[in-house]
């Protein structure tokens, strides 16, 4: 699934509980992980949560010092995710 102009770098759907995970990589060294599933912040409402990560030497680390957020963002519709992806791409 694309979020506006943003196509995921990777996509995974869990075969047991149906949780979906999308990863978006940006040229600025950031990554956004977008998740939808019943055991997340979005719960049964079928909304999304978003986490910002930063590339370190050989791993991704949660990135809490951004102008976007200092935590995981939850309870978001797809159009809101698009706005956050745009903002992350400009960090």
Q: Encode pLDDT of 41-81 as tens digits.
A: 656 678 999 999 999 888 999 998 888 898 999 999 999 99
Q: Are 65 and 31 in contact (CB under 8 A)?
A: no
- Find the mean pLDDT for residues 4-15: 96
Has residue 91 got a pLDDT over 80?
yes
**pLDDT band (50, 70, 90) for residue 5:** very high
Report the distance separating Cα 58 and Cα 16, nearest Å. 30
User: Which of 33, 27, 20, 19 lies closest to 63, judged by CA?
Assistant: 33
Q: Report the pLDDT value the prediction gives residue 45, as an integer from 0 to 100.
A: 74
> What confidence score (pLDDT) does residue 38 get?
75
């Amino acid at each position: 699934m694309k979020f506006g102009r943003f196509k995921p770098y990777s996509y995974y759907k869990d075969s047991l509980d149906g949780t979906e995970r999308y990863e978006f990589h940006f040229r600025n060294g950031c990554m956004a992980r977008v998740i939808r599933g019943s055991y997340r912040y979005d719960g049964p409402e079928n909304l999304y949560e978003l986490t910002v990560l930063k590339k370190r030497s050989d791993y991704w680390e949660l990135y809490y010092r951004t102008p976007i957020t200092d935590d995981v963002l939850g309870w978001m519709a797809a159009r809101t995710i698009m706005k956050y992806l745009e903002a992350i791409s400009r960090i």
